[in-house]
Amino acid sequence: MYHRKYPIKMKSRIRVILVDDHAVVRAGFRMLLSTDDAIEVIAEAERGEQACQLYLANQPDVMVLDLSMPGIGGLETIRRICNRDCRAKILVFSVHDERVYVDRAMNAGAKGYITKHAHPEILITAIQKIALGEGYIEQGLISEGNVFSSQIPETREADYKSLIESLSSREFDVFLLLAKGLTAHKIAGELCLGYKTVANYGTQIRSKFKVSSVAELAHIAIVSGVVKN
C-alpha cells in the first residue's frame, strides 16, 4: 500500500488526472479545468490499466474517471486503486445516471459521482470538494430509487437486485452491454476482450439469473432500473 508523503495544501493547485477513452472528451475536460487557476491537469489516460500506473507514478489529488472504457473498465480501476491506497480520491464522470452505477462506483471506493449531462461548473465544484476530503454526488442521483415494474413480484425484485450486486466488475459490464442489445462480437470489441471470453461471461451471467436468453437479461435490466426502457 502506498500513501502520499504530505497532506494536500489547498493553497497549491489541485493536481488532477483525467481518465476517458475518448481523446476529444479529455481535451474538453482539460479546456474546462484550465479556466480554474486552482486546478492543474497533470496526466491523462484512456484505459484503466494506464490509469492505475499513472496514479502510482503521479499521486494526484483527484482522479476524474469515466466508467465505460475498454480493458479492465472503470469500476475495476476504482477498486484496484483504492485497494492500494485507501485515501485515493476518485470522481466518476459518466454518462450513466442510473442509481445502480452510482452505488457500484461508491462501493468500489469512489468519493464522488457526477454525470456528463451536468452543468460544466459542477465538475470544478466536485473536484474542489473531493480534494478537500469531502464527498460529492450530483443532486438528483441519490434521491431516486430503483424503478421496478409493478408486474414483478417483490421477492423477485429483491432477488434481481441482489444478483446484480453480486456480479463482478467485468460481469456487470458484459451484462449491461448484452441488455442493451450488443452482440458478443461487438462487446468483445468494446471491452477489448476475446469473443470466447465474452461468450463465457454471457453463459455465466445467464446461469446466475437462471435465464436462457439475452431478451430475458434485457427485461431484468429494465425492471431493475439498470437500463432505461
Q: Which residues contact 21 (CB under 8 A, 6 or more apart)?
A: 46, 47, 66, 68, 69, 70
Residue 18 located in a structural domain: yes
Same domain (yes/no): 26, 129: yes
Same domain (yes/no): 89, 200: no
Q: What is the per-residue pLDDT across 71-114, written as a single tens digit (0 to 9) for each? A: 888 999 999 999 999 999 999 999 888 888 888 899 899 999 99
Same domain (yes/no): 18, 79: yes
The DSSP bridge pattern shows strands 112-115 and 136-137 to be: parallel
Q: What's the Cα-to-Cα distance from 69 to each of 33, 74, 179, 189, rounded to whole Å?
A: 22, 6, 17, 11
Residue 186 located in a structural domain: yes
Is residue 153 helix, strand or coil? coil
Residue at a domain's end among 108, 137, 166: 137
Same domain (yes/no): 25, 127: yes
Asked whether the predicted pLDDT for residue 57 surpasses 60, the reply is: yes
Q: What is the per-residue pLDDT across 147-201, written as a single tens digit (0 to 9) for each? A: 333 344 444 656 787 888 889 888 988 998 898 888 999 888 888 888 999 999 9
Residue 93 located in a structural domain: yes
Same domain (yes/no): 82, 166: no
Residue 148 located in a structural domain: no
Same domain (yes/no): 27, 88: yes
Residue 189 located in a structural domain: yes
Domain of 202 in residue numbering reads as 154-223
Same domain (yes/no): 47, 117: yes
